Amino acid sequence: MGYLVKSTIDGTSVTGTAITISDSKLIVANSLTVGDILEVNYGFSKLVATSNLSIRLYINTSNSLSGASQLALYTTTGALFAGCLGRVIYIKSATDTQLYPTTASLINPDTVALTNSSVNIDWTVSQYLIIALSHSSGASNNSFSTFLLGLKR
């Protein structure tokens, strides 16, 4: 497997209840084509146990949450301080990109059978994968430690 992006640089720390971008990675236009499988893996660390952390993965043509499509959502419990999350994205056609449900929390595809979600993503233009965080209370401060985009052809 090759890598489009790999980074061990922490994302921006986020404090508060607003959904806020912590990190993003650019996928250059035409880097992905029909038949490709993109594996997105990202890790997080949380410094305080007093609130739940919601972690969202978005895609957009700009580095912004405005107009972005949500690809994944995971909400931690207060006691969980760190973890690794991921999504596998299948490019089925020019207008059909599939992945496990975009609104579901952490899903192990080996043990849970759910219907895939379809998202219309134009891979002929540059796309940003965006990690955004929010807390159930403003008391916590969080950052990401890894971001890895693997490509199978």
Q: What is the pLDDT of residue 107?
A: 46
- Gap between the Cα atoms of 60 and 117, Å rounded: 17
Looking at residue 151, what is its pLDDT? 63
Helix-strand-coil split of the chain, %, nearest 5: 0, 55, 45
Reported as a single tens digit per residue, the pLDDT across 121-150 is 999 999 999 989 888 776 656 666 566 666
CA–CA separation, 95 and 73 (whole Å)? 23
pLDDT tens, position by position, 42-96: 877 777 777 788 888 899 999 999 999 988 888 877 777 777 777 888 899 887 8
Q: Are 46 and 84 in contact (CB under 8 A)?
A: no
pLDDT score recorded for residue 101:
60
